Amino acid sequence: MKILHFADVHLGMENYGKFDPETGLNSRLGDFLNSFEFLVNYAKNNNIDLVLFAGDAFKTREPTPTYQKAFASKIYELACANIPVVLLVGNHDFPGALGKAHTLEIYPTLNIKNVHMVSDEVKTLKTKHGPIQIAGLPWYTKQQLLTKDEMKLPLVKMHQKLSKALAEKVNYLSSKIDPKIPSVLLAHATVQGATFGSERSVMIGSDIIFPISNLRHSRFNYIALGHIHKHQELSKHPPIVYAGSIERIDFGEEKEDKGFVIADIDKKQGTLQARWQFIKTPSRRFLTVRVKVGANDEPNDKVATEIKKHDINNTVVKLIIEIGEEKSSKLSESKIRTALDEANFIAGIIKEVKSHERTQVKNGFSDELASLDTLGVLEKYLKSKKVGKTHQHELLKTAECLIEEVT
C-alpha cells in the first residue's frame, strides 16, 4: 500500500516575493503552488493509494479566500482522481478563539467524496489495495490538555504534565489498532529528538515535547509527522518521519531539501512493515553569496566576479560583502544589482565593514542573525546577557505568545 505523506504547505507566505502583474498576486504563491502541483501530479501518476496531510495548510489562521481556493483546488484534484485524502489540523490551522472554526473545517462540512478529516480518533478507510487505519493527533493547545490549576504550575512541571497527556492520547489510540490491518499515526507535534529548521529557531518553553519512546512502542506501522519544516527520520522501527515543508520559507532553510514522503506498507515475514523514500519538490532555490574584498581588489569588479561563480538564475539571493572601511564607499549598489540581474529576488545586499577596532554591520544583520527568526534573535540576546535558563524559558514563552497574538 503506497501512501503519500506531506505537511506544512503554508500558503500565504509572501517573504522574498514580488508583485506578479499577470496574476495580480505575490509571486511566492506561484512558488508554493508549483511545488504543490508537482506533489499532486506525482500522486496521480504513481498509483498512490492514500494521501496524508499532517497539518499547516496556511501561514495564518485566517487565510484569504484566494489562498483557501488555491489549497482546496489541489485537494479536490486529488479527490477527483479517486485518491482518498486525510487532513489533520496543525497549529497554523487552529482558530485563535474558542468557538471559531479552524481553516480546514469546511471539508467535513461539505462532505466531499474522498476527503476526510481525522482528529484524536482512529478511522478505517478503504483504498485500492485494502483497508488502512488512520489515527489522528492534531495540534493541541495547553488549555486543551491542562486544568486551570495545572496551568499555574512551574514551567518544567507544566511541560511534564503536557507531555504525559499527549503520551496518554497516543497510548489510547494505539490500543485501538488492529495489528492485522495497516496503520498510520498522523500527527502534528514536536517529537523529542527532532532537529528544528529555521521556521522556529527556538522551541524551549513554547512547544509541547512529545516523548519518542511512546511512538516506538506503539502498534503503528508508520508515523507521519508535521510541524517541523526540516525533513528527517527519528526512528526506523517503526519509521517516525517528518515530511518537512514543500517549499522554502527563508534562508535558514537554504540548504534543506524540500518535498514529501512516499511510504509503502506491506507484509514481510508475516508482519506488516513500512519503508519510505523522500521525493524532492522543485522548490525555489535560496543562495547566500559571500564576497571578501581584499586590500588590492577593485570592490565592484571583485563582487561581480564572485557572483558569476554561482548559478543565480531564478534564485532568491542574499549577498554579503566583507570589505575594509577605506573601500566601502567605492561600492556601487547599481553595479551590484546589475550583476544580480538574473536573480529571482534580491533578499539583501549586506556590507560587513571591517575597521581596525571592530566589525560593523550595515544594511542588515550579520549572516548568523539574518537566518534567525524573532525568537531566535531574542534567545541569542538573552544568552549574551547571561540570563538564567529558567528565566530565559519564561521570557521566550511570553514573547511567543505576544508574537502569536499580533499575528
CATH number at residue 198: 3.60.21.10
Q: What is the pTM of this model?
A: 0.83
Answer with the one of 250, 280, 310 that is the final residue of a domain: 280
pLDDT beyond 80 at 262: yes
**Residue 363 and residue 385 share a domain:** no
How does residue 354 score in pLDDT terms, banded at 50, 70 and 90?
confident
Torsion, Cα 97 101 105 108, to 10 degrees, reads 130
| Confidence at residue 372, expressed as pLDDT on a 0 to 100 scale | 57
Answer with the one of 254, 280, 306 that is the final residue of a domain: 280
| Confidence at residue 206, expressed as pLDDT on a 0 to 100 scale | 62
**Could you tell me how far CA 148 lies from the centroid of its own chain?**
31
| Confidence at residue 272, expressed as pLDDT on a 0 to 100 scale | 92
pLDDT digits over 179-233, tens only?
Answer: 999 999 999 999 988 887 654 443 444 678 888 998 999 999 999 999 999 999 9
| Confidence at residue 210, expressed as pLDDT on a 0 to 100 scale | 87
Determine the average pLDDT of the residues in 347-371. 63
**Residue 306 and residue 218 share a domain:** no
Determine the average pLDDT of the residues in 334-351. 94
**Residue 116 and residue 102 share a domain:** yes
pLDDT beyond 60 at 326: yes
Answer with the one of 216, 247, 280 that is the final residue of a domain: 280
| Confidence at residue 390, expressed as pLDDT on a 0 to 100 scale | 72
Determine the average pLDDT of the residues in 327-355. 91
| Confidence at residue 204, expressed as pLDDT on a 0 to 100 scale | 41
pLDDT beyond 90 at 6: yes
Compute the distance between CA of residue 89 and CA of residue 48 in angstroms, rounded to an integer.
Answer: 22
Whether the CB-CB separation of 4 and 48 falls below 8 Å is answered with yes
- State the average pLDDT for the chain: 88
pLDDT beyond 90 at 28: yes
**Residue 385 and residue 364 share a domain:** no
**Residue 245 and residue 209 share a domain:** yes
**Which whole-number Å values give the CA distances from 292 to 235, 309, 324, in the listed order?**
42, 14, 9
pLDDT digits over 263-296, tens only?
Answer: 999 988 788 999 999 999 999 999 999 999 998 9
**Residue 36 and residue 107 share a domain:** yes
Compute the distance between CA of residue 206 and CA of residue 204 in angstroms, rounded to an integer.
Answer: 6
Mark residue 205 as left, alpha or beta (left: phi above 0; alpha: psi -120 to 50; beta: remaining): left
| Confidence at residue 356, expressed as pLDDT on a 0 to 100 scale | 52
**Residue 300 and residue 260 share a domain:** no
**Residue 273 and residue 335 share a domain:** no
**Residue 221 and residue 325 share a domain:** no
**Residue 185 and residue 311 share a domain:** no
**Residue 230 and residue 325 share a domain:** no
pLDDT digits over 36-89, tens only?
Answer: 999 999 999 999 999 999 999 999 888 999 999 999 999 999 999 999 999 999
**Residue 378 and residue 366 share a domain:** no
pLDDT beyond 70 at 371: no
Tally of domains in the chain: 3
**Residue-number span of the structural domain to which 391 is assigned:** 374-406
